[in-house]
Structure 1
Amino acid sequence: MSNLIITGIIDGPLPGGLPKAIELYVLADIADLSMYGIEAATNGNASTGPEFTLSGSATAGDYIYVASETSGFNSFFGFNPNFTDGVANINGDDTIILFKNGSIVDVFGEIGIDGTGRPWEHLDGWAYRNNGALPSSTFNVSEWTFSGVDALDDDAANVNVTATPPWPIASFSAGETNGLDLSTYVRIGRYDLPVPTRTVAPLLAVNWPWRFPPLPTIPIPTPFLCWGMKERRSLRLISEVN
């Protein structure tokens, strides 16, 4: 699993289309960022592998910015990017690919397809990942919010805070991993639960008074047991993130 995710791309309004940048979000601590690399598959070209390799380390919750240069990025956002490299010299119709140890783990855009006229085009604008998304080697346009083409062209002050709409920089919120929303399966007075399949002892017991809705989303390790009023029921986690 990738502990890094692509969360934003911007093709800015300054001369030369600056700033051009990629935002990455750190889902869990990464001791060695050099296992991750980025490729920009421009103009509908196929993927050929990483063009830029990250370096250093990162802590869960960090944002990492890779920009094509520093001056335009700082002018627009008020701080410097973490990295500068030509891999970020992109337009709003290019595909961005994230690699881990040489394998694709996340992607923005359709590999091998020019984004001009596609739903994910954001020329002179931006794209931003919706909260709760996870890294995926398959692009899903519904996981993204877009400014629209030429959305930044009318930003007279040429800074993000006055843009309409501004790039929602550093606002991504990761979804809970190893969590289960009990409200999908539990109803007052009866138990709409799947048949348990685990045979090992639970790692954690969770007590919850089911007579008091609404039920919460509880981040817990799996497997687990849940007790009702006077009855004990085992729950099976439908999917888990390793």
Structure 2
Amino acid sequence: MKKLYILFLFACTFGFAQNPGDIVITEIMNDPVSVSDTFGEYFEIYNQTASPIDIVGWTLKDDGTDTYVIVSGGESGTGTTIVPAGGYLVLGRSDDTMVNGGASVDYSYGDSGHTLGNGADEIVLLNTSMVEIARVNYDGGVTFPDTPGASISLDPSSLNENDNDNGANWCLSTTPYGDGDLGTPGAANNACAPTCQTTLGASDTVCDSSNPGATDDTYSVTLDFSGAATGETFVVSTTPSGFTIGGDDPTSTASGTITVSGVTEGTDITITVSNTGDGGLCDLTRDITSPVCIPINSVDLELIGIIDFTVLSGGSDGKAIHLRATADIADLSIYGIGVANNGGGTDGQEYTFPAIAVSNGDHILLARSLTAMEAFLTTPGYNLFDVYLEDSSEPSQNGDDAIELFKNGEVVETFGDIDCRPSSDGTTVTCPNYQFYEDAWAYKDNGTWTYGAAQCTDHDTGNVPSTWTTFDTPCVYPFVAALSTQEFSEGELSIFPNPVSNGNLTIKSKFDGEMKVKIYDIMGRQVLTAEMKTESLDVSSLRPGLYLLNVSLNNLSSTRKLIIE
């Protein structure tokens, strides 16, 4: 009878703790700074039952490979495994206050199988029946606090297994111990100061309008939020102000989306969501950068010429594409070229322009061989271009291929018909949008495509000339046609000053006769024509900029660049 009484007394003294949640993990020092992790790591557990609990034989583990079975006395032999009713027990790497930073550790598990990760990790306690009694999955700062040298502490008002799963119920300890780290091992934790529970989520911007060159395009913003509707009044505002705020109201909606519309393109804004005016703790901001509201298909580059010259170097050296910038382009690599071969449909973008800047009006020559282009067009004709690009495999068109111009991966201009292949005689297959241009060219003049006759740039293969230029053919490439008459020799024509700053240009020739002058802007438009009876030409009507000046006298001609200041 006495033995049964003693057993009953033991059962009343120590609970068996078979219920998950009887033990709660309440404090974690995973990253001490006053000493190394090897000695300074610890965690604290709390017994929320009315009886002491002996954890001898329990298993300490994480979700990885760490595992340790708690033994009587611990690794030092002097530790305790009893968690008092309503009290704390501290388990750590070392229970020696001389080396562990001064922490009061009740049980040492040493280096025998369990460590606390400085980032995300788990602490799991299983009883002798391998039933999970306590667990914390801390996340290294995502929702749980995380600062080296301060323990992670569960708020004293949340000492239960459900609340300790929520990182918002944990905070950093503020009480120093021992060598200076912050924590309360074996004692009640510091109360966590209340924090804002509302968070801002993803934001996005969408252009309301996208007009080329417009200064009044607007955009709208969406901003997600969660954890609102906390009882206080939220105020949503923007800096600068004056825009339309709508969407869900965080005062009454826990999770939703705020909208701001009517924001002028180019205006960056800051959205503020605050309930501090009504006694709340939230004063949240999100910076929004304006999108660039440029239409995908607004075209600042156009096709001017499709070239398939016959050149002396042979092969594909005579293939080129002539383009013109119709606005300043900061990054030409948003554009590309594709050759739709033989009427078989699009082949997609096959060439991407380099990431260079070009200016409004620049004429761009993309060629397989720039050397062959200069030889065929002649140096004066070649020099009429502003930008020169060379590629060993593109362009690759023949006289029956269409060309696609791409911007941001979308087709914005097409020469020809990607689903039609014109025949060499122009009768077998007639394509309404273009014609056969093999060994010739296609050239766009004021929006209309013109063509050199097929094979018009061929030379006599039985008697190959020593030089062969566009001016030796019956189909001079139109862009350089102004150079087709004989050039003035050096010293036969003087043009000055250049640049012109006073509105008067002097043109002198050693030959008698009436000089005819034509001036073109960088878009190729004739802006001034004159028949000079004196040596002075009034150019005061021209705006500052770059022009082409063509002077002809009898059978002589010269085209030069002219700068007006």
Do the structures match in fold with TM over 0.5?
yes
CA distance in 2, matches of 1:50, 1:17: 20
| Closer/same/farther in 2, CA of residues 40 and 58 from structure 1, 3 Å limit | same
Q: Distance in 2 between matches of 1:36 and 1:109?
A: 19
Matches for 1:103-114 after TM superposition, within 5 Å: 103-114=410-421
Instruction: Indicate which of 444, 447, 461 corresponds to 1:129.
Output: 444
Which residue identity does 2:339 align to in structure 1?
A: A
TM-aligned CA deviation for residue 169 of structure 1: 2.5
**Cross-structure match for 1:91:** 398
Q: Is the 8 A contact 1:67 1:89 kept in 2?
A: no
Q: Could you list the per-position Cα deviations for residues 73-96 of structure 1 after superposition, in whole angstroms to 9, with x for gaps in the alignment?
A: 232123494232422122111111
The one of 141, 145, 150 aligned to 2:455: 150
> Could you say which residue in structure 2 is the equivalent of 1:66?
366
Q: Contact 1:68/1:87 (CA < 8 Å) preserved in 2?
A: yes
Q: Deviations over 1:149-189 (max 9, x none)?
A: 111124854212332221122689468xxxxxxxxxxxxxx
Q: CA RMSD in A?
A: 2.4
Q: 1:49 to 1:170 in 2, by over 3 A?
A: farther
Which residue of 1 is the match for residue 305 of structure 2?
Answer: 8
Q: Is the 8 A contact 1:160 1:167 kept in 2?
A: yes
What is the aligned residue count? 165
Instruction: For residue 113 of structure 1, report the CA deviation from its aligned partner.
Output: 1.9
Normalised by the size of structure 2, how large is the TM-score? 0.28
Matched, 1:37 2:336: yes
Secondary structure, counterpart of 1:16 in structure 2: coil
Give the structure, 1 or 2, with the largest relative contact order (CA under 8 Å, sep 6 or more): 1
Partners of 1:35 and 1:174 in 2: CA distance: 25
SS in 2 for 1:88: coil
- Structure 2 alignment gaps of length 5 or more: 1-297, 482-521, 526-565
**Residue type of the alignment partner of 1:30:** I
Question: Any idea what the Cα deviations from partners look like across 1:12-32, whole Å, max 9, x if unmatched?
Answer: 112225411000000010011
> How far apart in 2 are the matches of 1:166 and 1:44?
27
- The reply to whether residue 115 of structure 1 matches residue 414 of structure 2 is no
| Residues in 2 aligned to 1:105 and 1:99: alpha-carbon distance in whole angstroms | 6
- Residue 70 of structure 1 and its aligned partner are, at CA, apart by 3.0
- Of all paired residues, the percent bearing the same amino acid is 35
Aligned 8 A contact 1:13 1:158 in 2: no
Query: What is the CA-CA distance between 1:2 and the residue it aligns to?
Result: 0.4
Partner of 2:531: none
Question: What is the alpha-carbon distance in structure 2 between the residues aligned to residue 127 and residue 59 of structure 1?
Answer: 24
Q: Deviations over 1:86-131 (max 9, x none)?
A: 2212211111110001111111110122233345211111110012
One-letter amino acid matched to 1:87? E
Supply the AA of the counterpart residue of 1:61.
G
SS of residue in 1 equivalent to 2:315: helix
Which of 326, 347, 352 is the matching residue for 1:53? 352
Aligned letter for 2:307? I
Letter in 2 for 1:95: A
Distance in 2 between the 1:110 and 1:47 partners?
10
The structure-2 alpha-carbon separation of the partners of 1:170 and 1:58, relative to structure 1 and needing over 3 Å to count, comes to farther
Distance 2:335 2:392 in 1: 15
Partner of 1:162: 472
Q: CA deviation at 1:48?
A: 3.3
Cα distance in 2 for partners of 1:166, 1:144 equals 15
